[in-house]
A and B are shown apart, each in its own frame.
Chain A
Amino acid sequence: MHVHRFERLWLVAALAMIVLFIGTVTYGAVGAGYGMVDDTGGQVDPTDATASENFREPGVYNGSEPGHYDVYIEAKQFLFVPGTSDPVRVPANSTVTFHVTSTDVVHGFEVVGTNINTMAVPGQVATVTVEFDEPDEYGLVCNEYCGSGHHTMAGSLHVVPAAQFNQTEVN
Chain B
Amino acid sequence: MAHPHKSEQPQAYESDTAQLSDRLAFVDKFPSAARITRLSMGVSFTALTIGALLGIVQALHRTNVFRGVISSADYYSVLTGHGVLLALFFTIFFLTGIFTWGTSRSLGRELPSPRFSLVWFLLMLSGAVMTATAIFGGLVGQIPFSADVLYTFYAPLQAHPLFYAGLAAWLVGTWLAGADWIRAYYHWRQDNPGERIPLQMFMILTTMLMWYIATLGVAVEVVFFLLPLSLGLIESVDPLLTRTLFWFFGHPVVYFWLMPAYFAWYTVLPKLSGGRLFSDPLARVVFILFLILSTPVGFHHQYADPGVPEGFKFIAMTNTMFLLLPSFLTAFTVVASMEYGARQRGGTGYLGWLKALPWGNPAFAGCALAGIMFAAGGFSGIINAGMNINSLIHNTLWVPGHFHLTVGTASALTMMAISYWLYPQITGKRLQFYGIAQVQPYVWFIGMGLMSNAMHRAGLAGVPRRTAEPQYQQFDFMPVLGSMLEMRLQIAIGGSLLTLGAVMFVLVMAGTWLAERGRGRLRVDSHLPEPISGPSDSPRVLDNVRLWFVIAVVLVVIAYGFPIYSMVADGALNPAAPPFPV
Contact = CB atoms under 8 A, between A and B. Distances in A.
B575 A151 contact: no
Contacts of A14: 324-325, 328-329
A100 B307 CA distance: 12
B278 A39 contact: no
Contact of B576 (A46, A100, A148): A46
Nearest to A49: B575
Interface in A34-93: 34-39, 41, 43-47, 77
A125 B279 contact: no
B156 A122 contact: yes
Interface string B150-174: 1000101100000000000000000
Size category of the binding interface on chain A: 35 or more
Interface string B239-272: 1100100000000000000000000000000000
A46 to B, nearest CB: 4
Given A15-B325, A110-B462, A154-B474, A115 B392 contact: yes
A158 to B, nearest CB: 11
A71 B379 CA distance: 36
A25 B317 contact: yes
A18 B324 contact: yes
A46 B307 contact: no
B63 to A, nearest CB: 13
A117 B76 contact: no
Contact of B76 (A35, A144, A148, A152): A148
Interface stretch (B34-42, B465-473, B481-489): B465-473
A39 B317 contact: no
B307 A43 contact: yes
A47 B575 CA distance: 9
Query: Of residues B156, B317, B325, B464, which shows the largest number of chain A Cβ atoms within 10 Å of its Cβ?
Result: B464
A19 B365 CA distance: 34
A117 B394 contact: yes
Contacts of A106: 154, 156-157, 239, 243
Interface string B312-334: 01100110011011001100110
A29 interface: yes
A37 B307 CA distance: 8
Given A39-B308, A43-B307, A117-B394, A112 B462 contact: yes
Contacts of B516: none
Query: Of residues A46, A115, A126, which shows the largest number of chain B Cβ atoms within 10 Å of its Cβ?
Result: A46
Contact of A124 (B156, B322, B395, B575): B575
B68 interface: no
Contacts of A116: 391
A165 interface: no
Nearest to A19: B321
A60 B208 CA distance: 52
A123 B462 contact: no
Contacts of B91: none
B221 interface: no
**Majority secondary structure, B binding face:** loop
B461 A113 contact: yes
B15 interface: no
**Majority secondary structure, A binding face:** mixed
A137 interface: yes
Nearest to A22: B321
Contact of B533 (A2, A104, A138): A2
A159 interface: no
A146 B468 CA distance: 12
Interface string A113-147: 10111111111111100000000011111111111
A28 B388 contact: yes
B543 interface: no
Size category of the binding interface on chain B: 35 or more
B388 A143 contact: no
Interface string B529-543: 000010001110000
Nearest to A7: B332
Given A2-B533, A147-B580, A156-B475, A125 B306 contact: yes
Contacts of B476: 139
A1 B537 contact: yes
B475 A138 contact: yes
Contact of B239 (A7, A46, A141): A46
Given A36-B303, A141-B462, A156-B474, A4 B388 contact: no
B568 to A, nearest CB: 14
Contacts of B79: 145
A139 B473 CA distance: 10
Given A10-B328, A14-B324, A148 B73 contact: yes
Contacts of B306: 37-39, 41, 100-101, 118-121, 124-127
Given A34-B388, A46-B239, A7 B282 contact: yes
Nearest to A108: B395
A121 B387 contact: no
B507 interface: no
A29 B308 contact: no
Contact of A38 (B309, B475, B533): B309
A145 B329 contact: no
Interface in B440-483: 461-462, 464-469, 472-478
Contacts of B466: 143-145, 150
B73 A39 contact: no
A3 interface: yes
B305 A121 contact: yes
A127 to B, nearest CB: 7
Contact of B395 (A115, A144, A148): A144
A117 B396 CA distance: 10
29 contacts: A1-B539, A3-B279, A7-B279, A7-B333, A10-B328, A21-B321, A22-B318, A29-B310, A37-B304, A38-B306, A43-B575, A46-B236, A104-B156, A104-B577, A110-B394, A112-B462, A117-B304, A117-B395, A120-B306, A121-B307, A123-B574, A123-B577, A126-B304, A143-B394, A143-B395, A143-B396, A146-B157, A154-B473, A154-B474
Given A108-B464, A138-B475, 19 more contacts: A4-B279, A4-B336, A25-B317, A28-B387, A29-B314, A29-B388, A38-B308, A104-B156, A106-B154, A112-B477, A116-B391, A117-B391, A118-B304, A119-B302, A119-B304, A122-B156, A122-B577, A139-B474, A148-B76
The 3 closest A-B pairs by CB, nearest first: A123-B575, A139-B475, A126-B306
